[in-house]
Structure 1
């Protein structure tokens, strides 16, 4: 069967590149974005033994803005340990929905069965994409770091949560951002109990995107005229990332302004992570074509001998930690699946033993 080149690139989808960005909540939202109260949601009768509460996350640097979120609480006696989920690149809802797959929802449900609470929230660029589209000075700090750090503070104030056992789990770009989140929490004079890196890039995003495009185009060696034009445009933009100082600051490149790229490309996640003394768990799917085993081995080479770091890779799992094969690229995401139970168990074991 001939493979088709897909036009959706998960790791390469940056701030404003999805047409669904909106300042309005989607019909699936469970609470109004201005509601900062915690209130019970109605669950189906056959649901698992947990409770889901609406808990909005105020946006610290924008008065009046807030992000709808869901706090999943297990059955049992509180206070519970908790995991905060931080999204990958691009606008994303709290479930990190990709087609019919909802990896963050799966992780929340799975960890609740192990007695662990989970907080997930809509990403700022998902809720306020239109308002943010004109901010040419936007960086990863405004896109991700502030909200993730504020989520730790918010959860610390919840009576059902053990404030001394809050863990931060970042997926993809969110995982790469974890050392920066840890630094920001220090500025807040607080800290997480531990950190979980889920398919986290060790290399800069530009290099990763070039590798990803190389791989995807290799799947379709004979291109149509339209695909050839697309390929030329993509690689021309990738080349521009080597000359950011020569570019118009208001001209987006691959979904982000030069200021965003300039900030991100000067960040070395492995070097920054050297100062981390908290327990760290790094998980990687071996069939991930977006963040590959090359990145996993770079992390492991740097920190594999450190007692506070734990590494585990999973044969047969993709970037979403769901079954698939690398050569099928995004086609693996078109089928509704769930995060592998072994991944859930590994996260649960890490939280329960640290």
Structure 2
């Protein structure tokens, strides 16, 4: 849910519930990717804004700046006729302009502390298929739909099953904060698409599905809390266990960011539980601590002095305190909007109200007090924790370390690795990206992929399958299984 330039540090969880313009108000479809240069002192930065349509008729916006390693930074979208406003409130940045050329261009002004610059964003052409995966992968691929019987909504996705007779271990993928499709596509990088391709080629069946309210999935993403998403994970486990060619005793969960916390919560709950959990950059601190730290990082990255950083953190703390002490949402929104308006002359009344609504959403209220440590002692399955040293959204030291310590102290089977140079999206440094059609393409860390596959192979007592080789039925003797391993690769 990540990095720098005008203060857009990360996938701020508070903003992730927020995008928004209604589809009916759009003069032309805005969904897709928009690209354009932002002129700054000393150079230019390429900005990519992705707008995803939700099933409730609204849109989710996310900003990427690959040069600065900013990935999926949530953006509020406000549109009236052809007048468009994109706002990143916590960074004090916005784009104000118009939709031109029958929806082919967004022209306006980018504003941030110390900078006001003309900017044009043009619709990005779809990337050629050659930049993705082969048209005919050496495994079975099926579009599927399964039901969450608790919340009464369906989830649509893709199940990939290795070649061979099986039965195969399987894993369901759970995404990070924000409305995301089954591939978790970020500026042409299909994080879950690449992960599923690799694991399936190596003998692991993979289920990846659209988030609630996205693509082929029904339900509401905006009104769902981290705890609510546990029922989606349980539904995915039950679905996989019912499928032919899947070993029902070897169905696990792999989560990224918030999805990793959902996986750990699911492993600690009654009901369908995973046989194993792979955690990619799970939160180890409370939600409030994570967001307060990110608020300070954002201010520092936009060049704020220590006094300004302290003022921003104090304002954030006051805002959360109001929300915690005011259970009545209407009253809380009024008080928060008033505080934001009085403390920030750059925010108008409508934006203050919109921001207050986000901060008092079910997701935000839950996340402020979410403590990921609470239920770890109830986790019964093996856990693999992975974090990158270049992850500035979820610090390995502040998050993976306490998770590992708590699981280890509770005598749980836990293995952990810090991956050198890997960022929050589990990409290695850009100089390690492969060349495709003469252009470097972002890729999932090969080191992370191998560690995940090798660990699952041992955990499910399955021989490791070389790339392209047919998978065989699990057959390692139980005495070879590793138990209670704690590894920290720095």
Instruction: Please indicate, yes or no, whether the TM-score normalized by the shorter chain is above 0.5.
Output: yes
CA distance in 1 between counterparts of 2:156 and 2:414 reads 32
Q: Which residue of 2 aligns with 1:86?
A: 174
Answer whether contact 2:253 2:276 (CA < 8 A) is retained: yes
2:423 maps to which residue?
318
Please name the residue that 1:302 is paired with: 406
Counterpart check, 1:239 vs 2:322: no
Corresponding position: 1:216 with 2:291: no
Between the two proteins, the alignment pairs up a number of residues equal to 315
Matches within 5 A, 1:275-290: 275-290=378-393
Alignment counterpart, residue 281 of structure 2, candidates 178, 199, 221: 199
Please state how far the C-alpha of 1:318 moved relative to its aligned partner: 0.3
Q: How do residues 110-189 of structure 1 correspond to structure 2 at under 5 angstroms?
A: 110-127=198-215, 132=220, 135=223, 138-142=224-228, 144-184=229-269, 186=270, 188=271
Higher helix proportion: 1
* CA separation of 1:145 and 1:211: change in aligned 2, threshold 3 A: same
Superposition deviation, residue 125 in structure 1? 4.1
RMSD: 3.3
> Shift in Å at residue 220 of structure 1?
2.2
Other structure's SS at 2:298 match: helix
The alpha-carbon distance between structure 1 residues 11 and 109, as it changes in their structure 2 partners (threshold 3 A), is farther
Report the Cα offset of residue 274 of structure 1.
1.3
Query: For the residues of structure 2 that align with 1:122 and 1:313, how far apart are their CA atoms?
Result: 28
Residues 147, 248 of structure 1: CA spacing in aligned structure 2 closer, same or farther, 3 A cutoff? same
TM-score (norm 2): 0.58
For 1:131-188, what per-residue CA distance to the aligned partner results, in whole angstroms no more than 9, with x for missing partners? Answer: 73785xx43233x11111100001110012111100111110111222321234x2x2
CA–CA separation in structure 2 for the residues paired with 1:147 and 1:98: 23
Higher strand share: 2
- The SS at the match of 1:351 is helix
Where 1:349 maps in the other structure, the secondary structure is helix
1: CA distance, partners of 2:134 / 2:442: 22
**Counterpart Cα distance in 1 of 2:219 and 2:454:** 41
| Residue in structure 2 matching 1:347, options 441, 446, 452 | 452
Report the Cα distance in structure 1 between the residues aligned to 2:293 and 2:312, rounded to whole angstroms.
16
Aligned residue in 2 for 1:23: 55
- Matching residue of 1:59: 148
Offset at 1:205?
1.9
Larger Cα Rg: Structure 1 or Structure 2?
2
Distance 2:283 2:447 in 1: 21
Shift of 1:45: 5.8
Q: Which structure 2 residue ranges, 5 or more long, are not aligned?
A: 21-51, 58-131, 334-354, 431-439, 460-490
Identify if the C-alpha distance between structure 1 residues 235 and 254 changes in structure 2 by more than 3 Å, giving closer, same or farther. farther
Counterparts of 2:187 and 2:313 in 1: how far apart (Å)?
23
Is the Cα contact below 8 Å between 2:389 and 2:420 reproduced in 1?
yes
> SS at 2:189's partner residue?
coil
Answer whether contact 2:189 2:442 (CA < 8 A) is retained. yes
Return the match for 2:162 from 54, 68, 74: 74
CA distance in 2 between counterparts of 1:133 and 1:123 reads 7
Question: Offset at 1:235?
Answer: 6.7
**Deviation digits for residues 181-201 of structure 1, max 9, x if unmatched?**
1234x2x2x321111111001
Where relative contact order (Cα < 8 A, 6+ residues apart) is larger, the structure is 1
Judged with a 3 Å threshold, the aligned counterparts in structure 2 of structure 1 residues 24 and 130 are, in CA distance, closer, same or farther, namely: same
- Give per-residue Cα distances to partners, 1:288-316, cap 9 Å, x unaligned: 00000221221233234646100111000
Taking the aligned partners of 1:302 and 1:165, their CA distance within structure 2 comes to: 25
Equivalence map 1:6-45=2 (5 Å): 7=8, 9-12=10-13, 14-19=15-20, 20-23=52-55
CA contact (8 A) 2:282 2:394 kept: yes
Structure 2 vs 1, CA of residues 133 and 345 (structure 1 numbering), >3 Å: closer, same or farther?
A: closer
Segments of 5+ residues of structure 1 without an aligned counterpart are: 26-42, 326-334
Q: Please state how far the C-alpha of 1:127 moved relative to its aligned partner.
A: 4.9
Counterparts in 2 of 1:249 and 1:126: CA distance versus 1, 3 Å: farther
